[in-house]
Structure 1
Amino acid sequence: AHFRLPGTKIFSNIANMRRFRGFKQNFFFKICLLCLWKFSSANLRYSVAEESASGTVIGNIIKDFGLDIKNLAGRGFRVISGSKQQLLQVNHKTGDLFINDIIDRETLCDRDKSCLLTFKIVVESPLEIYQAEIDIIDINDNPPVFPDKIKSLEISESTPIGSRFPLGVAYDPDSGENSLKSYQLSRNGYFSLEVEEHRKTGKIPVLVLQKALDREARQKLDLLLSAIDGGNPPKAGNMNITITIADFNDNAPFFVEQMYTVTLEENTPLGTVVLKLNASDLDDGSNGDIRYSFDSSVQSKLSELFQLDDYSGEITVKGVIDFEEEEFYEFDVKATDRGQVPMSGYCTVLIKIKDLNDNAPLIEITSLTKSIFEDVKPGTTVGIISIIDLDSGVNCKITCSLSSKLPFELKPSYQENVHSIVTTSRLDRESVSQYNITITAKDFGYPSLSSYETILVNVLDVNDNHPRFLHDPFIFYIEENNTPGSSIFEISAVDADANENALITYYLKENEVLDKPVVAFLSINSYNGQVFSFTSFDFEEVKNCSFIVIAKDSGVPPLSSSVTVKVFILDKNDNPPVIVFPLTTNGTALVEETIPRNVKAGHIVTRIRAYDADVGYNALLSFSLEDATDLSLFSVGKYTGEIKTLRSLAESDVNVQKMVILVKDSGNVPFSATATVIVTATENTEAHALSEVKRFTTPEDEESNMTFYLIIVLSSVSFLLFVTIFTLTVFQCRRTYHNLLHKRYLSDTNYAEVSGSLFHMSGSLFHGQQYQTAERRLMFVAPGMNRDGVMDMGSNANTLVISDNGVQISQKVSVKSLLSVLGGLLHSCLVTIAPKQILSIKTENNILKNTSRK
């Protein structure tokens, strides 16, 4: 251990003063100094004289403890002493330990031989504790003092020689050589001075009668008693003694024993009899009537604890007896008779106090780290505690423990009853953010006493948790036609950490959605995760899309998580029905039909064709008869759009019937469209047949040029077929549109439809075909069918109808599907042009034949 030579300055001054006393004294002093050096080398001890001025440097703790001043910068250290006053301080820059307040040895240690002031040096970050002690060297700053300046005694002239009269004890607060050493009595012819040694009260001066008193010769004696200490120079205190010589009372009271010893437990109830004294006096009458009292040398504190009955001599408990304050009490009791010249006898009473286990252990939190990070390693010191018990023996043996099931334990220190609180495992703030640690200290007395102390340790957060999304993936459904710039949904994530470590920022991952950067039509609020749309979605163009959102916290280093967001566009009834047949001209769908007057009920007049670009119920169309010349004559199929006769025409029915057909979808807010049908009833079947022939017959110039057109079409198609084969070979490796074409199955569908009525020998004929390609589709759909309801090849649906109104084709063709489109065009030409001419010629011939027969 590091040490400092105790009392370097003080002892040097003492040595200078004692040089004049000779070689022997100087040699003895050096021997004592050498012994003190060896004792200090075993423990780190400083020494300083009491009453030293404030600011006096005692030592340098940095040098003495071997500390590095560079490492102490910013750590901070302080002095902890057991006294209430802050007697010591440390210069944080130089490490000098100096006196903060004047030290009075007598206040700290009374008259103890050794006065040691123990203190601790606490260095923080990390926590280190060094213990040292200071030996407070007494100086001769107090003279001996008698309790009374004047002492009066009345002694009978008959007092025998050798009688003893104890006097008041002088008190010197100093210790060691500076304490009380001797008494001196002024010269007189009657009394000598003896000194008795008591363990408790020390040196008691006693007057011893050496010569018989003669009241007639001298009635009063004045003596001077001096108490001298051992200081250099010595100090003295004086007491004047006045002795009055009384008349004859020749027997003094006496006790059977000069010393009475008794054992008393501490905390004995008040009024308990400790001891009953009994003194005797051989005299009679008032000279033998005895009164008991404490001797004048008894301190006032003792009279507060014990009471002496004047008549019976019983000593009873008057105050609280505490072993921790005094282990025994020793005092003198005087028995005085009531003679004219009272005589007294004395005895000594020794009361030994027996210790009881009446003090619970005291827990002192020497140092405590109130907040620690959750990632500290096991074994990290959180605090240091000291435990003391004021009892003695087995009653002061202590065991201590912490609350169970906590990641902390007590680790004993090299000092007795000093423990460190250390962690036993890693901490997790997300599980427990604060620990209430209860320290229990228990002694081994009977009954055992315990004490408790609770400390609070906060766990600081470390960024060890990734943000966590509430769903994975997020699935949202939004209606089409949303308002651009509005919030369409919100992404949320949570982070189990706290403060900045839980502050989440959202952003979109840079990727493409529908061949466009996601930021081109979406944005996200980085603070609350609200997603905004720059565009309005159209279900007919986009059915669904997906993108990735990343959530990142604000810790150091930051942690992040990602989630896939799937968005499904819900169809909204935003498209009205479109009437395909009859054709719409100038905003009006109008068709004129001719029927014979002799038709029967159930005759199909025509069929209204319509479709709706929406899906589901929004595209489910219904047909109804909104208005008619005669509502009882015709009906409309609710879902087919077929117009049929309900009955045969009567003579009273007008020839021209007008109907308004309402086509309505099934949306919540339905859209509708109307078509007008004018039906003319004719009496002449030949005229009806001619009208039918006229309907299916093309102009003569078209018939005459048909063969020529067919040759041109076939030649062109053959040439295009050769070019297409060559082109497909070049584009074999380029499939950039493959995914796009699959995604736009419905939006890229091409429609071609032909509507009308066709008679043959057995009646009306309606038949349909549908043409498809692998990746692009060219479709011929019947009027009234929407794109979602298109049937596959082989369907019996009426998807192709020959009509005199010609062919309508809507198509979108890509390079890769050019071959399929050309095949479809060739097939459509063969189906729509050649059969149309052939069927029209056959139909005209059949009608003429039937007419000629009639």
Structure 2
Amino acid sequence: MTMGQRKLVPGKARGYVVGFMVVFCMWSAASAQLRYSVSEEVNAGTAVGNIAKDLGLDKNTLKDRKYRIVSSDAEPLFNVNPNDGFLYVNRIVDREKVCAQSSACLINLKTVLENPLEVHYVRVEVLDVNDHAPSFQENETTLEISESVMPGARIQLKAARDPDSGPFSVQQYTLSQNDHFRLEIKDKGDDGKIPILIVQKSLDRETAKNHSLIITAVDGGKRPKSGNMHILINVLDTNDNAPIFSEDDYTVMLKENSPIGTTVIMVNATDLDDGPNGELTYSISNSVNQNLLNLFEINSATGEIFVKELIDFEEKDKYEIEIQAMDKGVAPLTTEKSVIIKIVDVNDNAPEIEVTSFSSSIPEDAKPGTTVALISVHDLDSGLNGKVICSLSEDVPFSLLPSLQEKMFSLVTKSHLDREKYSYYNMKIVAKDEGDHPLSSEKTISVVVSDVNDNRPEFLMSPYTFYITENNNPGDSVFSVKASDQDENENAHISYLIKRDGSEERTASFLNINSETGDIVVMKSFDFESLKTFQFQVVATDSG
């Protein structure tokens, strides 16, 4: 689906002309956004969409203009056929590997169409297919439940995991038919759906010492896949009070990059029982994923949660940990409580500057507003810490203009250039964020100002006066003229000729000039009594 399209509109510029015509074609950058989708596991070479067609380009355009991908969110999963503009799969895409941390698998591609430059942003959504079955961490688990447990008691089980996402992940659990237990499902968001075993009928150890159950996890595919775990329940005697946490909700703010060992929060629970049945230990619930176990740890005796590894806000801004308080009874009772940890961003990432397109040379007659380079800036921080201001550190006839695309800037001319005054510019681009302790980075761009034929040749003297002795020899060189031109190369290469029109034509016919050196040669012998003075015009022309 095409999100938006824009076509390049060629600009126009005129050069200063002396005796000839030069046309300069300038360009301006445009951008477009396209969006496609493709299922994972499709074969390499599968077409995703025709970018050229969606942009309104024909094959003749592609012959003269190079189209390519310049950057991507991921390693090269896609490529563009430069001949027909088709975007195709470069290799088989495994969505679970490419987008392991994201529910929506969106691959952002930045493409350019050159001569003139166009920037297009293409987003490809990799659609999930149901290629994994749910599985439990263990094939069998054993629970010990006191016979004094009242109906309604809740035991959280280990959740099944399914690498697929969305509707293809675990959607429901079922429990084998029995008289004493039922299932309830708790939706934990990023942690998926958690099965909770609920006692619905009192247990009697003397009637049945154990119970055998099968829990089945089922995903949401059209042909659903499933996985089983065997639950063995041993019924024990009597510890009839579960721990109770002192707070209904635990929420805490934690700065990213807090030192290892920093205390996050201390939870507290009590148990009305006496002796070992009222003594508590704290732990992180086994339903929590391994990533959380790597980041946080809890003191089993005090309930103090502390940082185990450095926390990065840019990876995740909130964590929810299930904390478990368990007594030391023969048949221990447990209570779980959620602790929400909100990560506070600090300004720990400097902006990054990327020059996505650059014209290293620009003609001196370029109009103000001519694009020289496209600049993108990135800052991994958020809020003001991630808001970047881009500027030029020197007073130059260029300026940075923000683009419609967020964090994109165009380096453009802001006034007319004059190569004869400045033939090149070294510009330092500074990107600075707006955090409390701002971070910045710099990049230097060098631009050469190319010459155009905007200066006329000028004679060293005007008029020239010289003398010839009568009875001179024909073919003698009698004088030399000289002109200069402030331009360079061909624009400054001067040739000379004698103007032969009007009343001076007869006299000028007696003279000849070397077009390269300006040396004037007389073609006859002059007689003072017949001709005492004469004048003529020499024309100097550059080769622009």
TM-score of the superposed pair, with normalisation by structure 1: 0.51
Could you tell me which amino acid in structure 1 is paired with residue 186 of structure 2?
E
Q: Deviations over 1:175-230 (max 9, x none)?
A: 23222210111223322111112234231100111233333443333322111111
SS of 2:61 mapped into structure 1? coil
CA contact (8 A) 1:190 1:209 kept: yes
* Residue matched to 2:338: 348
SS of 2:107 mapped into structure 1? strand
Matches within 5 A, 1:739-758: none
* Residue matched to 1:222: 212
Q: 2:473 aligns with which of 486, 493, 515?
A: 515
Q: List structure 1 runs of 4+ shifted beyond 6 angstroms.
A: 463-469, 549-554, 561-566, 739-742
* Residue matched to 2:292: 302
The alpha carbon displacement at 1:739 in A equals 8.4
CA contact (8 A) 2:323 2:336 kept: yes
The alpha carbon displacement at 1:244 in A equals 2.6
Q: Deviations over 1:788-824 (max 9, x none)?
A: xxxxxxxxxxxxxxxxxxxxxxxxxxxxxxxxxxxxx
* Residue matched to 1:560: 494
Q: 2:242 aligns with which of 252, 256, 261?
A: 252
* Residue matched to 2:20: none
Q: 2:151 aligns with which of 147, 161, 182?
A: 161
* Residue matched to 1:492: none
Moved more, 141-150 or 57-66: 141-150
CA contact (8 A) 1:551 1:561 kept: no
The alpha carbon displacement at 1:421 in A equals 1.2
Moved more, 401-410 or 208-217: 208-217
| Mapped partners of 2:371, 2:281: distance in 1 | 67
* Aligned CA distance change for structure 1 residues 459 and 246 (closer, same or farther; 3 Å): farther
Q: 2:251 aligns with which of 257, 261, 269?
A: 261
SS of 2:59 mapped into structure 1? coil
SS of 1:213 mapped into structure 2? coil
| Mapped partners of 2:419, 2:147: distance in 1 | 92
Matched, 1:422 2:412: yes
* Residue matched to 2:201: 211
Matches within 5 A, 1:29-178: 44-110=34-100, 112-178=102-168
CA contact (8 A) 2:474 2:525 kept: no
Q: Deviations over 1:56-101 (max 9, x none)?
A: 1111112111124323323211124432311221111111111112
The alpha carbon displacement at 1:174 in A equals 2.1
Unaligned 5+ runs, structure 1: 5-41, 474-511, 520-544, 567-733, 743-854
The alpha carbon displacement at 1:465 in A equals 7.1
Q: 2:270 aligns with which of 280, 285, 302?
A: 280
* Seq. identity, %: 46
SS of 1:73 mapped into structure 2? helix
RMSD: 3.5
The alpha carbon displacement at 1:129 in A equals 1.3
Unaligned 5+ runs, structure 2: 5-31, 463-469, 497-516, 533-544
The alpha carbon displacement at 1:459 in A equals 3.9
SS of 1:107 mapped into structure 2? helix
Matches within 5 A, 1:539-558: 546-548=479-481, 555-556=489-490
Matches within 5 A, 1:439-450: 439-450=429-440
Q: Deviations over 1:269-294 (max 9, x none)?
A: 33222111111122222222211111
The alpha carbon displacement at 1:462 in A equals 5.3
Q: 1:437 aligns with which of 427, 431, 436?
A: 427
Could you tell me which amino acid in structure 2 is paired with residue 145 of structure 1?
S
The alpha carbon displacement at 1:315 in A equals 0.7
Matched, 1:331 2:330: no
The alpha carbon displacement at 1:551 in A equals 8.6
| Higher RCO structure, 1 or 2 (CA under 8 Å, sep 6+) | 2
| Mapped partners of 1:275, 1:741: distance in 2 | 114
Could you tell me which amino acid in structure 2 is paired with residue 560 of structure 1?
I
| Mapped partners of 2:312, 2:394: distance in 1 | 36
CA contact (8 A) 2:74 2:98 kept: no
Matches within 5 A, 1:473-622: 514-518=472-476, 546-548=479-481, 555-556=489-490, 559-560=493-494
TM-score of the superposed pair, with normalisation by structure 2: 0.77
**If you compute each CA radius of gyration, which structure gives the higher value, 1 or 2?**
1
SS of 1:287 mapped into structure 2? helix
CA contact (8 A) 2:364 2:417 kept: yes
SS of 1:58 mapped into structure 2? strand
SS of 1:395 mapped into structure 2? helix
* Aligned CA distance change for structure 1 residues 328 and 416 (closer, same or farther; 3 Å): same
Structure with higher helix content: 1
SS of 2:64 mapped into structure 1? coil
Matches within 5 A, 1:704-743: 736-738=526-528
| Mapped partners of 2:185, 2:142: distance in 1 | 19
* Residue matched to 1:778: none
CA contact (8 A) 1:81 1:117 kept: no
Q: Deviations over 1:541-595 (max 9, x none)?
A: xxxx6445789999446621788899xxxxxxxxxxxxxxxxxxxxxxxxxxxxx
Q: 2:370 aligns with which of 376, 380, 383?
A: 380
